[in-house]
Amino acid sequence: MAIKKEHEVIIIGAGPTALTAAIYTTREDIETLLFERGAIGGLAAVTDHIDNYPGFADGVDGLVLADQMRKQAERFGAVIELGEVTKIDAGKSSVKLETTSGDVTAKALLIATGSDYKKVGVPGEKEFFARGVHYCATCDGAFYRDKRLVVVGGGNSAVQEAVFLTRFASHIDLLVRGDHFRASDVLQEELKKHAGKITVHLNTTTDEIVGEDNKVVKVIGTDKLMGKKVDFPTDGVFVFVGLMPNTQFLKDSGIELDEIGFIKTDDNLMTKLKGVFAAGDVRHGATMQIASATGEGATVALRIREYIEGHKVINE
């Protein structure tokens, strides 16, 4: 079934931010279409268990939470189209989108495409994702009480999250590819306070994540100074080598991005382009948590409503 060409609101993405925004807009009788190129629910949908989202005393399966958000948005009339937006062009009164389902226009556009974790790209990383390989200490660290862990990375996130994981883990091997940390001096000083629980391995690559009986058992690396392979027995691996915002399609759009590619917005979550908003993990300054992502979804939906109502007054 072909989708119609003109819409009040189009949302790119169908993760927690996008679905929350759609719940709010559709409850206000603002017709809303969402485009999603991958999994509905975003990274939340592929998270095995979420323990820090309010309202679930015993935690909740990520796929279950994502599915409930989808059903709620659809109950109020949101339409989700599986397709990809390849280009946007903001005009004076509407935004045009080129998509794999054809060209469409909207009075307001929300970009909520989120971010994806940078991968090390080694054997076992994909196979054991959410079953021993993780990218969020806040989300998954509590599953490893009194367990051994490996943390991969040498920047601010890796050091900060390694320190956080000492609350749970019995011991952490921190694998740093280079000969020094890229983390700030303040974080490195904090790291030293946990020397009893964290062993730092500089000049050590991560080559393979090995599992047995459907769980991670060790990481194989290379000590670059010694030129030999080294094994790190572990119950889990946390990778912190950065986040990559899903903004590649915004090249030449006129939207302002930071040096990494996250979208810059004003206090109303609007980009430099009139009628184009951004929220959630794709936005510069986002905290990368599901709870805050849904909060931004609600906030941006209210800002979009105000924008559309303001345009109605002008046009009348």
Q: Does domain 6-116+243-315 have CATH number 3.40.720.10?
A: no
User: Residue written as tokens 């970009």?
Assistant: 111
Task: Place 158 in a pLDDT band, splitting at 50, 70 and 90.
Answer: very high
Q: Characterize the bridge pairing of strands 115-117 and 243-245.
A: antiparallel
> Strand (E) positions, the chain?
6-12, 32-36, 79-82, 85-90, 95-99, 102-111, 115-117, 133-134, 148-152, 171-175, 198-201, 204-212, 215-223, 228-233, 236-239, 243-245, 276-278
11 is written with which tokens?
A: 């949302």
What pLDDT is recorded for position 313? 54
Task: Place 312 in a pLDDT band, splitting at 50, 70 and 90.
Answer: low
AA identity, residue 130: A
Query: Can you tell me the mean pLDDT for 99-111?
Result: 95
**What is the rounded distance in angstroms from the CA atom of residue 298 to the CA atom of residue 21?**
5
How far CA 207 is from CA of 137, 220, 222, 240, in Å, comes to: 21, 6, 7, 15
| pLDDT tens digit sequence for 204-223 | 999 999 999 999 999 999 99
Query: Can you tell me the mean pLDDT for 191-195?
Result: 96
Contact 221/174 with Cβ under 8 angstroms?
no
Contact 7/25 with Cβ under 8 angstroms?
no
| Percentage, residues of the chain above pLDDT 70 | 97
Q: Is the per-residue pLDDT at 84 higher than 60?
A: yes
Q: Do domains 6-116+243-315 and 119-239 have the same CATH topology?
A: yes
pTM of the model: 0.76
**What is the rounded distance in angstroms from the CA atom of residue 183 to the CA atom of residue 194?**
15
Contacts of 85 by beta carbon, 8 Å cutoff, 6+ apart? 12, 35, 37, 97, 98, 99, 249
CATH of 119-239, one of 3.40.718.10, 3.40.190.10, 3.40.30.10, 3.50.50.60: 3.50.50.60
Report domain extents, the chain: 6-116+243-315, 119-239
Contacts of 221 by beta carbon, 8 Å cutoff, 6+ apart? 175, 201, 204, 205, 206, 207, 229, 230, 231, 232
237 is written with which tokens?
A: 């691996």
Contact 277/110 with Cβ under 8 angstroms?
yes
